[in-house]
Amino acid sequence: MLVGKVVGSLWATRKDEKLNGLKFLLVEKQLNETEVSPELVVAVDHVGAGVGEQVLITTGSSARISFENRTLPVDMVIVGIIDSVEYPKEE
Q: How far is the CB of 62 from a copy of itself (least distance, A)?
A: 4
Question: What whole-number distance in Å separates Cα of residue 36 and Cα of residue 32?
Answer: 7
Question: What whole-number distance in Å separates Cα of residue 44 and Cα of residue 61?
Answer: 13
- Quick check: 23 binds a copy of itself (CB under 8 A)? no
Residue 43: strand pairing partners: 25
Question: What whole-number distance in Å separates Cα of residue 56 and Cα of residue 82?
Answer: 6
In the region spanning residues 43 to 72, those forming contacts with a copy of itself, defined by CB under 8 A, are 43-44, 46-48, 56, 58-66, 70-72
**Binding residues for a copy of itself (CB under 8 A):** 1-3, 7-16, 18-19, 24, 26, 28, 31-32, 35, 37-44, 46-48, 56, 58-66, 70-77, 79-88
